[in-house]
Amino acid sequence: MSKRLAASFAKAKKENRGVLGIFVSAGDPDTNTSIKILDGLVRSGVDMIELGMPFSDPMADGPAIQAASLRALKSGMNLEGSLEIASQFRKKHPHTPLILMGYYNPIYRYGVELFLKDSQAAGVDGLIIVDLPPEEDAELCDLNQNSELDFIRLITPTTLGDRLPFVLEKASGFIYYVSIAGITGTKSAQMESISSAINRIKQVSNLPVVTGFGIRTAEQAALIASLGDGAIVGSAVVEIIAESNAQNLTAERTSEKVSDFTGSLADAISTHKP
Amino acid sequence: MNEIKQNSFKTMPDENGRFGIHGGRFVAETLMPLILQVETAYKEVITDPDFNAELLYYQKHYVGRPSPLYFAEHLTKQYGGAKLYLKRDELNHTGAHKINNVLGQALLAKKMGKTKIIAETGAGQHGVATATACALFNLECEVFMGAEDVKRQKPNVDRMRLLGATVHPVTSGTSTLKDAMNEALRYWVAHPDTHFYIIGTVAGPHPYPEMVRNFQSVIGKEAKEQLFEAEGRLPDALIACIGGGSNALGLFYPFLDNTDVTIFGVEAAGQGLDSGMHAASLTGGKPGVLHGNRTYLLQNDDGQIVDAHSISAGLDYPGIGPEHSWLHDVGRVNYVSATDEEALVQFQLCSRLEGIIPALEPSHALAFAAKQLPLMDKEQIVILNMCGRGDKDLETVLPKLDERGLL
């Protein structure tokens, strides 16, 4: 596990709480605002950042993150720009883990080997590549064997039986439990189903389990984070960016609105006692 | 193109769904178990005599197969070279080749105990074929169609609704076929237990490219037999249009190992290959990953998918089936292109000379035939896949023909 991820999970454990991860799209709605939003996230107590690399056809994402991706692309964001944002983030925030999340095609075009090298140079801690299941991941994972980058696996409610250990074979960093069968930002899962899924995962892996998809409120975040090792919130955050953008708010004001919300999530998670 | 020595061109894909570097299963984990289930079920049914007998029954009595292989005497004379035979798949029930594949997949869905069907559609031909099969087999049907296409193809939207399907207009992305496919996949992810996704072309994650090809191969098998009956020999060349490429592979596949048969796939060059407004993924694209497979894609340097352009909604797709990408890489099939303008001319010509109103899609194949046949000898024979009828295109085509004084 990357040192920053390990430290982040250890700190949360010591404080008897789960970690809070926040997803935003790189360059949404533009590079300057995006960087200010990331700064605000760290200040508001977010433990881990999931930075989306925009793609024209985000198959696993709902309307909110699709729109975020398109806003970013429209502002001229690309893979190189996403890595540049990551690099600037790392210079200012040496301790907060940063995960790059995206789809395979931009990486494939950029060149897998170069992407891995540049991600590490930018200070990225891990990768989530949505459309690179274990059946197809050799072309990236074989090149990533000696790197510091964690390869984070998604487990879903449909990952059952023998498939679970198979999917987790090359997993590192943490396990991302997708709590619903569906796309980001749509329905929410039942607590019991999340709890039993996390127990199932814990039986085959020692990695921390962080839950995402469909978490919209501070209460949900606190409760879900307490079931495993943390919670990731994306669409609800991205919707605030969309709204601020529609109202032409300044980068500072947009960042404030986002961090007000993520601060409330962080508070709820740290005060929640299981 | 590097010519690779190949014992057989019919052994692909491998067990991982790869056609050379193309194909595969590039999908989110939520979809993975679903496509693995489809693969297992498909492997079971293809060797099941009952399944095959049932499919054959519907092909014969419901679709009207075999479709005729028709010697197009007048076009042959007009082009002035090789003899042109048309494989008349536009005479199938629902007016195109799409139904061949849909019936196969709908019967598979039934075997798997699925009660609801998802489909994507561009021009609406695959949507209509799917809605038809769902009416026949009493399955619920949800069709995803780009909002732009819903407007452009109203008669097909009405047909689907009459047949009992729910049409979901898709407004994400560019509101066209690629977005309809994204949305259909998203919907499937959210309804994994009840729904089966009938993909309409030889693309998508494994096993779809293989499965759709096999269901469509009836076209080439029949054509081969029919030409033997008519002429006692193999054709010299095959021509078919390509969007995703299912009608083309259906015709080509049974001939792939007859290496004396020259094969041409015709992509849509839109307003011209240099205009940037085209749908020629092989000529103008690079390998990439979209909709579950690696294949040639129209994309920018950052790997973002760019819009395709073609007068024919059925060819208006920024990708192509992975097997075509492989056949291109190994040089077995020659991929060429035809423009909107060339297709329009043939649309009118074929209607006037043969009394057959071709769809805009096979009009692209005719446009290449018009250039290729004159270069061949009179004794040579070409089979062209007339994969759809043109009634659906009249609204698009008539004003344009009028402008050009072709009416």
The span from the CA of B200 to the CA of B245, in Å, is 10
Q: For B179-214, give the DSSP string.
A: HHHHHHHHHHHH-TTTEEE---SS-SSTTHHHHHHH
Contacts of A133 in chain B (CB under 8 A): 25-29, 32
Beta strands per DSSP E along B93-207: 116-121, 140-146, 166-170, 195-197
Structure tokens at B402: 């009028």
Residue A230 pairs in a beta bridge with: A19, A210
Residues B105 and B135 in one domain: yes
**In the block, residue with structure tokens 């028709």:** B70
pLDDT tens digits, one per residue of B209-241: 999 999 999 999 999 999 999 999 999 999 999
Taking the CA of residue B275 and the nearest CA in chain A, the distance in Å comes to 22
What domain range is B128 assigned to?
A: 18-59+98-212
Q: Show Cβ contacts of residue A190 under 8 Å, excluding neighbours closer than 6 positions.
A: none
Asked if pLDDT for residue B142 goes beyond 80, the answer is yes
Question: What's the pLDDT at A273?
Answer: 65
For testing contact with chain A, the best of B25, B189, B194, B296 (most A CBs within 10 A): B189
Q: What is the ipTM of this complex?
A: 0.95
H or E segment to which residue B266 belongs:
strand B262-270
Structure tokens at B80: 């002035």
Residue B261 lies in a domain: yes
CB atoms within 10 A of CB B108: 22
Domain end point (choices B195, B212, B229)? B212
Asked if pLDDT for residue B5 goes beyond 70, the answer is no
Minimal Cα distance from A70: which residue of B?
B173
**In the block, residue with structure tokens 């004396």:** B260
Contacts of A62 in chain B (CB under 8 A): 186
**In the block, residue with structure tokens 């029919």:** B226
List the Cα angle B329/B330/B334 in 5-degree steps: 80
CATH (domain of B380)? 3.40.50.1100
pLDDT tens digits, one per residue of A80-118: 999 999 999 999 999 999 999 999 999 999 999 999 999
How many domains are there within chain A?
Answer: 1
Question: What is the average per-residue pLDDT within B325-348?
Answer: 98
Minimal Cα distance from A133: which residue of B?
B29
Compute chain A's Rg from CA coordinates.
17
Residue B374 lies in a domain: yes
Domain end point (choices B161, B182, B212)? B212
CB atoms within 10 A of CB A80: 12
Question: What is the average per-residue pLDDT within A28-37?
Answer: 98
Residues B235 and B359 in one domain: yes
DSSP SS3 for B299: strand
CATH (domain of A229)? 3.20.20.70
pLDDT tens digits, one per residue of B275-314: 999 999 999 999 999 999 999 999 999 999 999 999 998 8
Least confident of A204-218, A240-254, B22-36, B143-157: B143-157
Residue B206 lies in a domain: yes
The span from the CA of B104 to the CA of B100, in Å, is 7
Residues B207 and B116 in one domain: yes
List the Cα angle B188/A52/A76 in 5-degree steps: 110
Minimal Cα distance from B177: which residue of A?
A57
pLDDT tens digits, one per residue of A212-231: 998 999 999 999 999 999 99
- Measured CB to CB, residues of chain B less than 8 Å from chain A are 16, 24-30, 32-34, 172-173, 178-179, 182, 185-186, 189-192, 286-292, 294, 297, 299, 301-306
Taking the CA of residue B295 and the nearest CA in chain A, the distance in Å comes to 11
What domain range is A129 assigned to?
A: 3-271
The span from the CA of B38 to the CA of B40, in Å, is 6
Question: What's the pLDDT at A146?
Answer: 81
pLDDT tens digits, one per residue of B145-193: 999 889 878 889 999 999 999 999 999 878 888 999 999 999 998 998 8
The span from the CA of B206 to the CA of B32, in Å, is 10
Residue B6 lies in a domain: no
Contact A164/B at CB under 8 A: no
Amino acid found at A214: G
Contact A170/B at CB under 8 A: no
Structure tokens at A121: 């140079």
pLDDT tens digits, one per residue of A125-148: 999 999 999 999 999 999 988 888
How many domains are there within chain B?
Answer: 2
Domain end point (choices B180, B212, B244)? B212
Taking the CA of residue B357 and the nearest CA in chain A, the distance in Å comes to 36
Please name which of A152, A135, A199, A271 lies closest in space to residue B293, comparing C-alpha atoms. A135
- A274: pLDDT confidence band, cut at 50, 70 and 90? low
Pick from A131, A154, A183: which is nearest to B190 by CB?
A183
Asked if pLDDT for residue B1 goes beyond 60, the answer is no
- A with B: how many residue pairs have Cβ under 8 Å apart? 121
Residues B351 and B394 in one domain: yes
Structure tokens at B370: 């018009």
Structure tokens at A101: 């999340």
Pick from A57, A62, A107: which is nearest to B290 by CB?
A57
pLDDT tens digits, one per residue of B46-93: 999 999 999 999 999 999 999 999 999 999 999 999 999 999 999 999
Contacts of B144 in chain A (CB under 8 A): none
Pick from A106, A183, A187: which is nearest to B302 by CB?
A106
Residue B351 near residue B381 (C-beta atoms within 8 A): no
Please name which of B88, B32, B94 lies closest in space to residue B219, comparing C-alpha atoms. B88
What do you get for the CA distance between the two ends of chain B, in Å?
42
Chain A, 174 to 193: residues with Cβ < 8 Å from chain B are 178, 180-183, 186-187
Contact A169/B at CB under 8 A: no
